[in-house]
Amino acid sequence: MFSLSQSVGYALRALVCMEGQDCRTHYTRDIAACSGVPAAYLPKVFKKLADGGVLEAKRGRTGGTRLSRPAEAVSLLDIAEAVEGKDFLPDCLLGDGFCDGSRQCPCRSFWQAERERIRSELKRISLAGLIAAERGDQGGSESTGTCREANAKTISNP
Amino acid sequence: MFSLSQSVGYALRALVCMEGQDCRTHYTRDIAACSGVPAAYLPKVFKKLADGGVLEAKRGRTGGTRLSRPAEAVSLLDIAEAVEGKDFLPDCLLGDGFCDGSRQCPCRSFWQAERERIRSELKRISLAGLIAAERGDQGGSESTGTCREANAKTISNP
DNA sequence: TCCAAATAGGATCGGTATGTCCACTATAAA
DNA sequence: TTTATAGTGGACATACCGATCCTATTTGGA
């Protein structure tokens, strides 16, 4: 299938459930319940998002996971790259390894342009936009406060 | 990986080796040797291309495989659809099943446009163009005769 | 008729993505 | 210090693609 992986979809659904407007920490199991992502699989996705700098996780009692920056500053490209890898958009439409030094398939010129268009679109769409769309808002992102200090000691779960 | 499957690349490399200019029949093993596609796997790809109407296969002694129409009339879209399935370009960038009735992700509008652009480009590029590019020709397709009757009894292999 | 040689198709295997489960580690409250 | 509870990470199961091998079927010629 010519699409992003299912795990990227899981990541989006989960991140939307984190509300984005603030950076409160959430428990993975709560996000799983809210988003419908398999609870036993979500930690794997979250780990990739944490390694990619999208999420911050804290271990131990009263731990949890939160956005490492405001939802407005997280793009779909950030999420896709974190989950699928930095080079998930290959040089050749036929996959890396088709066009080598000698072969230059005719798709190449148009795919280069398509690829950059897709990349820039994914970069343009923010997590905040996703959340707004999910809620049916048309307006886009209402302003939010800063993230890092606002919830340094805030825990959303009981 | 966000690309067409490896099997589509195999199909292209194999079809290029069939010369395209005529519709002589070829043995699968010869095409495998010429294209570098694994000889044990190519029959699987050829079967899909035959089911998709791109190739015609004849069984038995003096059998073989040939293009069912001139290379100018075979598009990359034909090949990709034959190998990957008619609906290999999903409705949603996140794959079918992400945007359901209720969810409408913000990728949708731009992906619809991208998808059609990719589809029309794949439709525009013909196998003949691929062969020309492979040879380093810049001119594109020189005219070829009709296919079906030209080689009704022609066998290219000894 | 019988055989040679081609494609067709099923059984099987390895690799990657997807899931599940369980033990380990870190952290803070009791 | 003890303990509860969060994420971390490895082992394992499952599904699909890529790939190989073996057998069946088809076809034309000896």
pLDDT in tens, chain B (158 residues): 899 999 999 999 999 999 755 678 999 999 999 999 999 999 999 999 999 999 999 999 999 999 999 999 999 999 999 999 999 999 999 888 788 766 677 888 899 999 999 999 999 999 999 888 877 754 444 444 344 333 333 333 33
A99 lies in a domain?
no
**Count of domains for chain B:** 1
The tokens describing B101, both together, are 């009735």
> Is strand C in 7 Å reach of the CB of A36?
no
A105–B4: do the CB atoms touch at under 8 Å? Answer: no
Q: Is A12 near chain B, with CB under 8 Å?
A: yes
CATH number at residue B84: 1.10.10.10
B21 in a domain, yes or no?
yes
With contacts defined as CB-CB under 8 Å, which chain B residues touch A121? 107, 110, 114
Residue A48 inside a domain? The answer is yes
Q: Are A66 and A20 in contact (CB under 8 A)?
A: no
With respect to residue B27, please indicate whether it lies within any of the assigned structural domains: yes
Q: If 0-12 CB within 10 Å is exposed, 13-18 middle and 19+ buried, where does residue A13 land?
A: buried
Q: Which residues in chain A are closer than 8 Å to B3, comparing Cβ atoms?
A: 2, 90, 92-96
Instruction: Specify if A37 maps to a domain.
Output: yes
Q: What is the CA radius of gyration of chain A?
A: 18
> Which pair of structure tokens corresponds to residue A121?
């679109």
Residue pLDDT, tens place only, A45-59 = 999 999 999 999 999
Nearest to B2 among A90, A106, A125 (CB): A90
Residue whose CA lies closest to nucleotide C7 C1': B59
Domain of residue A40: give its range.
Answer: 6-86+126-135
**B121/A9 Cβ within 8 A:** no
Q: Which nucleotides of D are covered by protein (CB under 7 A)?
A: 3-9, 17-21, 25-29
- Residues A12-26: tens digit of each pLDDT: 999 999 975 567 899
